[in-house]
C-alpha cells in the first residue's frame, strides 16, 4: 500500500524548528513512509536531535535522529534515518530518491534513502562500524557470528515498522526506525538465547547504538545471524490455504500439506518457551496485577471503539471476556508468567532445513518498554499464532475473490459460501494442529486454557481492528469476524 502525506501535513512543512536544507527536503518524504506514525495526526514540526556525517563522499552517508511532533500526540516521536547524497542517482537508486537539495552545503545534490545503497551500507560493518563519530552510531559485536568485511549488502523488502539489510548469507541488520532511549527487548532476549545455545532463534551478532546528550544510550539496530529459509510461515500458510480453498472439495488431510508444519511449529514455539524460561525464570503474577492489566485492556478497548465504531456492538461482551481472565487469575491466586515473544505470528517464523526458527523479539513496537519486557502467560504468544492462522485463511480467501478469474468462477452465492466455509475449516484444522504440537512438546495444552485464549485472542483482534481501520480498511472485516466468533463462543 502506498502511503501519501495529507495536505495538512504538507502545509506544515514550513513550520521547521531547524532551518536545515536536508530537513526541509526530508519532510514530505518522511510523511509518506509506511513506518511513519500517521495515526498520531498531521505532522507539525521536525527537530534534529543528532546529525552525523559518517562518510564524506560522494557518496556521502548521513545519520540522523529526528524528533517529530504530531497534532494528536502529547509527545514527539523519534525516527532514525540513514541518508545518502550523490550528485546524480544511478538507475538502481532512483526509487530511493528523497529530493534534490536546493541550497546549503550539498546544493543541487540528490538526497536519497541510503538503506537501498549497497556501497553505503557496506560502511556500517566495515572495520567494526563507524565508531569515532561523536553522537553517531557505534557497533558492538558479540563474537557469536563472525562479522566478516566484504559481505555484499542488499535491502530486504516487506518490513513496515523497520528496515532490514542482509549482508551476504551470513548477517542481517534490522535498522530500528523509531528507536527509544534505554535497553531494547530484542538484544536482551536474543543475547540470552544465544548465550544459552538455543536452536530456536537466530544468534545475536551485535547491535548499533548511540547516545544523545542528556539521554540513555539507544539501540539503533540489531545485527543477527542470517537464517536461510524457504519462506516464512505467513507465505507458506497463505499459499497452502489458497490451494485448499479453491480445491476440488476433498477433505483436508489429517497429516501432510501444511498441517504437519503447523504441528511442528507448535513444537518449536513450546521449545522456545522452554529456552526462554531457562534464561528468564518464570514467576507468579498476582490476581491484583492481572485485574489491573484487565483494566488497561478495557481502557484500550474504549479507545479502539472510538477509532473503529464497528467495535461498539462487541464492547460489553469483550469486557466480559476480559473479566473472565481476571476471575480465572483470582481463582488461582494469580498466574504463572515468564518472558515471551510478545508479538508472535506466522510472519515471525522461518521454515528452515533444521526446522522452524523464531525471529523479531522486540514485541509490539507501539507498546511501552515496561509492557514489552514484562512476564506474561505463554498463552498470549499462542493466541497470537492462532490469530495468525485465522488471518492467513481469510487473507487467502480475500485474495482469491479479488482476482477476476476466481471471482467469476465463484460468482454465485453458494460458491462464495463454500469457499468461505473452506477457509474457516482450514483455519480451524491448523489452529488445532498447532495446539497439538505445542502440547506434544511438553508445553501446557492450549486447549485446556479456553478462558485465557479467548481473552488474549480478543485483545489481539481489537488491536488488529484499529490497525486495519487506519492502514488497510479493506481488511477490517477479518478481525471483526474474529471478534464476532469469540464473543458468540462466550
The pLDDT value given to residue 46: 84
The pLDDT value given to residue 133: 65
Give the integer Cα–Cα distance in Å for 447 and 396.
26
The pLDDT value given to residue 294: 97
DSSP 194-220: HHHT-SSSPPEEEEEEE--TTS--EEE
Give the integer Cα–Cα distance in Å for 119 and 463.
39
- 392 CB contacts (<8 Å, ≥6 apart)? 234, 237, 238, 241, 346, 427, 430
Cα 368 to chain centroid distance, Å, stands at 15
Domain spans in the chain, listed from the N-terminal domain onward? 1-116, 118-226, 233-489
DSSP 21-89: HHHHHHHHHHHT-TTS-GGG-SEEEEEEEEEEEEE-SSSEEEEEEEEEEETT-SSPEEEEEEEEEESS-
Give the integer Cα–Cα distance in Å for 183 and 406.
49
- Dihedral sign (CA 157, 162, 167, 168): negative
pLDDT averaged per 10 residues in sequence order, the chain, 490 residues: 39 40 80 77 80 89 89 83 95 94 86 95 70 73 82 84 92 94 94 96 95 89 95 95 77 67 97 97 96 97 97 97 97 94 96 96 86 93 98 91 53 79 94 97 91 97 94 93 90
Superfamily of domain covering 233-489: Aminoglycoside phosphotransferase (APH), C-terminal lobe (3.90.1200.10)
Q: What is the pTM of this model?
A: 0.88
Cα 270 to chain centroid distance, Å, stands at 21
Amino acid at each position: 500500500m502506498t502511503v501519501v502525506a495529507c495536505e495538512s501535513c504538507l502545509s506544515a512543512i514550513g513550520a521547521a524548528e531547524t532551518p536545515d536544507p536536508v530537513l526541509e527536503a526530508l519532510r514530505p518524504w518522511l510523511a509518506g513512509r509506511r513506518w511513519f506514525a500517521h495515526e498520531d495526526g498531521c505532522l507539525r514540526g521536525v527537530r534534529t536531535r543528532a546529525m552525523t556525517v559518517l562518510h564524506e563522499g560522494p557518496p556521502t552517508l548521513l545519520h540522523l535522529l529526528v524528533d517529530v511532533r504530531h497534532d494528536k500526540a502529547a509527545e514527539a516521536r523519534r525516527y532514525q534515518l540513514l541518508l545518502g547524497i550523490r550528485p546524480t542517482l544511478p538507475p538502481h537508486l532512483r526509487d530511493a530518491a528523497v529530493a534534490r537539495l536546493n541550497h546549503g552545503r550539498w546544493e543541487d545534490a540528490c538526497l536519497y534513502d541510503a538503506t537501498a545503497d549497497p556501497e553505503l551500507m557496506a560502511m556500517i560493518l566495515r572495520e567494526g562500524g563507524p565508531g569515532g563519530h561523536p553522537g553517531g552510531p557505534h557497533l558492538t559485536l558479540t563474537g557469536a557470528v563472525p562479522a566478516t568485511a566484504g559481505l555484499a549488502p542488499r535491502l530486504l523488502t516487506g518490513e513496515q515498522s523497520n528496515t532490514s539489510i542482509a549482508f551476504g548469507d551470513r548477517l542481517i541488520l534490522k535498522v530500528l526506525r523509531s528507536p527509544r532511549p534505554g535497553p531494547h527487548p530484542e538484544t536482551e532476549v536474543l543475547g540470552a538465547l544465544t548465550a544459552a545455545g538455543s536452536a530456536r532463534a537466530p544468534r545475536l551478532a551485535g547491535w548499533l547504538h548511540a547516545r544523545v546528550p542528556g539521554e540513555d544510550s539507544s539501540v539503533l539496530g540489531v545485527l543477527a545471524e542470517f537464517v536461510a529459509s524457504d519462506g516464512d510461515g505467513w507465505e507458506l500458510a497463505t499459499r497452502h490455504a489458497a490451494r485448499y480453498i479453491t480445491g476440488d472439495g476433498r477433505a483436508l488431510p489429517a497429516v501432510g500439506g501444511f498441517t504437519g508444519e503447523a504441528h511442528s511449529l507448535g513444537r518449536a514455539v513450546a521449545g522456545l518457551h522452554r529456552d526462554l524460561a531457562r534464561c528468564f525464570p518464570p514467576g507468579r503474577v498476582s490476581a491484583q496485577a492481572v485485574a489491573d492489566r484487565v483494566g488497561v485492556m478495557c481502557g484500550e478497548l474504549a479507545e479502539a471503539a472510538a477509532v473503529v465504531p464497528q467495535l461498539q456492538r462487541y464492547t460489553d461482551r469483550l469486557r466480559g471476556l476480559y473479566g473472565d481472565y481476571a476471575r480465572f487469575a483470582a481463582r488461582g491466586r494469580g498466574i504463572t508468567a515468564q518472558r515471551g515473544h510478545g508479538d508472535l505470528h506466522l510472519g515471525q517464523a522461518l521454515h528452515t532445513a533444521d526446522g522452524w526458527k523464531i525471529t523479531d523479539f522486540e514485541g509490539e513496537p507501539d507498546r511501552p518498554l515496561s509492557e514489552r519486557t514484562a512476564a506474561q502467560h505463554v498463552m498470549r504468544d499462542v493466541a497470537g499464532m492462532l490469530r495468525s492462522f485465522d488471518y492467513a485463511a481469510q487473507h487467502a480467501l480475500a485474495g482469491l475473490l479479488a482476482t477476476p478469474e476466481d471471482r467469476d468462477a465463484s460468482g454465485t452465492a453458494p460458491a462464495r459460501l463454500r469457499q468461505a466455509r473452506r477457509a474457516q475449516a482450514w483455519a480451524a484444522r491448523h489452529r488445532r494442529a498447532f495446539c497439538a504440537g505445542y502440547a506434544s512438546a511438553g508445553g501446557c495444552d492450549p486447549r485446556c486454557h479456553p478462558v485465557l485464549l479467548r481473552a488474549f485472542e480478543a485483545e489481539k483482534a481489537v488491536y488488529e481492528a484499529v490497525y486495519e481501520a487506519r492502514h488497510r480498511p479493506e481488511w477490517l472485516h477479518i478481525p471483526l469476524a474474529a471478534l464476532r466468533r469469540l464473543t458468540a463462543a462466550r
